[in-house]
Amino acid sequence: MKDHLEEEQELLQRLLEKDGVASATAVMADPEVTALQPGMEAEPYAAPRTALEQHLATIWADVLGVPRVGIHDDFFALGGGSLCGAVMTARVEDTLAIDLPVRELFESSTIAELAAVIQTNLGGKELRIKLPEEAATAVSTREADSRTSLFPLSCSQEQLWFLDRLQPGSDFYNVALAWRIKGDVHVSLLERSLEEVMRRHEALRTCFVVAGNGMPRQKIISDAVKLPLARFDLTEMEAGEREKRAKKILAEEGAKPFDLSQVPLWRGALLRIKDSEHILGLTLHHIVCDDWSFGVLWKELSSLYEAFEKGEQSPLPEIGMQYKDYALRQKEWMRSAKFREQMEYWKRQLKGMPEVLSLPTDFPRPETQSFRGRIELRDLRSGLLESLNALSRQERGSLFMVLMAACQVLLMRYSGQEDFAVGTVIANRNRLETQKLIGFFLSTMVIRANLQGQPTFRQVLRRVREAMLGAFANQELPFEKLVEELAPNRDVSRAPLFQVAFTLVSTPPARLELGQSETSEVLVDLDTSKFDLAMVVDEGKDSAAVALNYNTDLFEANTIRRMLAQYEHLLEGIVADPDQPVRTLPMENALDRDLPHNPYQAADAAGLPAVGEERVNNVLVLPRNELEQAIATVWRAVLGRDQVGVHDNFFDLGGYSLLAVQVLLRLRAELSLDLELLHLFQFPTIDTLVRFLQTGYNFEMKFRGTRERAGKQRKAVKKFGRCTPHG
């Protein structure tokens, strides 16, 4: 009779086979394999002794992309980081049906230590390893309308849909990628492969429509959808002009806006450079994809093309879960106690934090966020990455935490602020079933910087470590819902809660492989920036590069290049002496003394409240004329308020982006006022909105539309009469 351990090992093997992971035997087969970071002494390999250790070793090997893991190998020394750790702990929670905060991994970073922690937490209960289909949470379909195939959006999708309505016809959230293909390309097989990818993934056959209540819905097209694949032949051009023309075509294709109400929300372009050389460009709207999706796309496209070229059928298994299921699951989770717990955590964490990081800028901030941007890049010196990794291990942290802490110090030295927020984006693919999907899963976390009290860098790093561990333990809360709950000052000139983002990229991107052709990625620059600044550190095997994506309406290129040089100099000072106070760490050009006074900085943050603080409301002034009364009636209905004063701010009353859309729809239907979404953000009180309508209302210039439409709106305002503006 088999003992308990043998039964658990057989169950584990079934799990591995279903998940497409190499067997436990294969993972441990090569005794010579090591995957340690430079500077880390190798531990003698020790094989797993129990089913739990074997299960953890298999998950670690899969998540970290290494052939095997011994029970005394350190997760972070093997190349793991904060985000990778969040994925790993979620996998463990799924398959063992336990709670495992990512903090436990930082405190117990070997398999032997972590297995002991799990056994202790079980409290004598029998360990049971679940198969993937058992671990998957059931999806509720009660919010779906099966008659029309309409489904709710995920929270991230809602935000992008809203931003598209705020500034329609923009290309801010287009994502463009391109690959150079040297060798024979069978265009018909390439098209067939692309369309098979679209058939497999509902997200690529989805558009977005407005339901009767004014709320957006996903509409999934079940019929075959043709992918637009424009073709360009550049072979007749002079050799020197082909690359210039190709670059221009890719940029033009990438900048064409999408209509979110039409499928598909992606398109392709195939440029013929020579008889045996092409460039394949793809442009997708971010609402249906993210960076992880591209790895899925390239992998599936490569497999399909290879099979079709051989005359075979698709080798890919059908997908069980689709993106709409994720959106439905998210809506279901938002009705849970866990959602409320995480919301309370973030409200406590961010209460009283300034909403604005007031960086000195080269130009005054535009009234409306432009999203125009560029990128500057700097390679860090050889050897610096190894020293930074050593420091992270000393503090039982990760490279991400060290680099984030250094970024916070840089921003403090520029702004003079000791309390502010930096955003970071995570893949949000913690669950097994989401890792093979194309869709928009990215999640944003707000990391509060605390540099008060003259701390050393080591102290700042420990604060960042605590903030990050708390953030990962509460990472499921959608950022968009946090913004709605906190109701920060609505300012269309900047992003809410944070204006600077930081990201570490530590995994090599997936490659496109088409038969025997040689492929290489071609960069497509769309000249956009979603924040004031976004710092991205790309970690290589032995070195790293730092990129700064910046808003060109705020900063000059020389300023950004100087900032990158100062960041590297700061990192050098940190590894030389992490116990030095952060205000005295060396930075190029003696920043604290040499930075000129910036007239834009003080005004930038003037008068803006802190997160979670009560705002002082004006004395209630009720509507004073028919137009104000008509608008107030709409506001009361949408906001569920008994009274609305003319000086009350729509967003302070509980309004948010999707409710703003409903207000505009009702103003259009009931008052014939066809306002743009942007106007409600610019004029968020009834008083200021009416002033705009009555005194600043140049219809032909302020509104996109015909003179006939402008005439109707002029009549609508006239119907309610003019009133004397109040002071």
Residue 207 lies in a domain: yes
State the residue for tokens 């750790």.
85
pLDDT higher than threshold 50 for residue 95? yes
pLDDT at residue 52, as a whole number = 87
pLDDT, residue 666, reads: 87
Same domain, 456 and 567: yes
Convert the pLDDT of each residue in 247-285 to its tens digit.
999 999 999 999 999 999 999 999 999 989 999 999 999
User: Is the CB of residue 686 less than 8 Å from the CB of residue 631?
Assistant: yes
Distance of CA 20 to the CA centre of its chain: 27
Residue 343 included in any domain: no
Domain shared by 550 and 422, yes or no: yes
Confidence of residue 147 (pLDDT cuts 50, 70, 90): very low
pLDDT in tens, 336-349: 999 999 999 999 99
pTM: 0.76
Instruction: Please give the helix or strand (H or E) that residue 460 lies within, else none.
Output: helix 457-473
**Do 294 and 423 lie in a common domain?**
no
> What secondary structure does DSSP assign to 190-202, as a single string?
HHHHHHHHHHH-G
Question: Where in the sequence is the domain holding 40, given as residue range(s)?
Answer: 4-135
For residue 469, pLDDT over 70 is answered with yes
Domain boundary among 135, 161, 194: 135
Q: What is the pLDDT of residue 130?
A: 66
Whole-angstrom distance, CA of residue 422 vs CA of residue 400: 13
CATH code of 249's domain: 3.30.559.10
- Residue 707 located in a structural domain: yes
| Biggest CA-to-CA distance, the chain | 93
- For residue 334, report the phi and psi dihedrals to the nearest 5 degrees: -70, -5
Same domain, 361 and 478: yes
Q: Is the pLDDT of residue 434 over 90?
A: no
Q: Domain boundary at 308, 325, 342, which?
A: 325
Whether residues 456 and 368 share a domain: the answer is yes
Question: Based on the domain organization, do 96 and 164 belong to the same domain?
Answer: no
Edge to edge, the sheet with strand 544-551 lists: 373-379, 544-551, 533-539, 500-505, 419-426, 443-450
My answer on whether 231 and 267 are in the same domain is yes
Same domain assignment for residues 588 and 633: no
What is the spatial distance between Cα 351 and Cα 166, in angstroms, rounded to a whole number?
28
Overall domain count for the chain:
4
393 & 517 share domain: yes
As a whole number, mean pLDDT of residues 526-539 equals: 89
